[in-house]
Amino acid sequence: MKVSTSFVQDQRHTTKSQRFSAVQPSHIAAVLDNHGFNLVHLKSATARKQDNAAHQTTIARYRSAEEFKVGGLHMDLVFKVPHLYGSVEAFLGTYRLVCTNGLVVGSRFFEAPRIRHAASALPQLESLIPQLVAKHDELFDTIREMGARTVTPIQVADFVREAARLRLGENDKIESIDYGDLMRIRRPEDNGNDAFTVLNVVQENLMRFGLQYQMKTVNEAGKTSIRNMLARPVTRTKLGDTESTRSVDLNASVWDAAAQILMKIG
């Protein structure tokens, strides 16, 4: 039996009832096209076996044709579309032209309702997308506010530590972290101390360039040693940037950390 790619997956698994109706990413693309959003990034796959289709998730990023004039930003919409289990999740995002870097906005700003695979999914989708598009002005007002907020060195340090924790998790074996990796300035436009610039610097370094740290290990003889470790980039591969369920979730969590620590929101 031929299994379609995740972009047009419409098959019913044996565990699903007759009420199941797959939400295809291709449906989302058609709706967004009517609102001036173009598909710019797609992480899709083809399952070799029918059972594996249950574990696929398509990640799709759509970009508004309208460019935000201050700072060279576009508004993005990012969707996680699991094939058979779970619900479709939608995120607001931005794309920063100066560094070709995509942000995902966390739930502290806007949390979209999830859409389950059902016959009512498409009407829900038709209703949700205008709600997302309508957040355009509020999103960019928030970004302007972040750009006008000067942050202190203590706030930056707290944010960097939290970003590293989000990436590495809670691990009492970690001896040290090279926080300088996350604070590296890569272009003149990033040389600022406002909340939005700091967010972009830390997020880009975390997602696209990795993080060095040291971990303490103890062997069977009880001897302790320190190992140099590298948390690899989350979005960057040999073929370029690519998004995944993990990268979207981490990206959104970094935004929420910036809102709480740098902007005192939430």
Q: How confident is the model at residue 4 (pLDDT cuts 50, 70, 90)?
A: very low
pLDDT above 60: residue 3 = no
User: pLDDT digit string (tens) for 63-76?
Assistant: 988 766 667 888 99
Q: By the 8 A CB rule, do 180 and 156 touch?
A: no
Record the pTM.
Answer: 0.85
What's the confidence (pLDDT) of residue 256? 95
Would the CA dihedral through 100, 231, 250, 191 be positive or negative? negative
Please tell me what DSSP assigns to residue 49.
Answer: S
pLDDT above 80: residue 244 = yes
Per the model's pLDDT, the better-predicted residue between 161 and 4 turns out to be 161
User: pLDDT digit string (tens) for 245-262?
Assistant: 888 999 999 999 999 999
pLDDT above 90: residue 56 = no
pLDDT above 60: residue 8 = no
Q: Is 72 helix (H, G, I), strand (E, B) or coil?
A: coil
Which two three-digit tokens encode residue 213? 């740290």
Instruction: Give percent above pLDDT 90 in the chain.
Output: 33
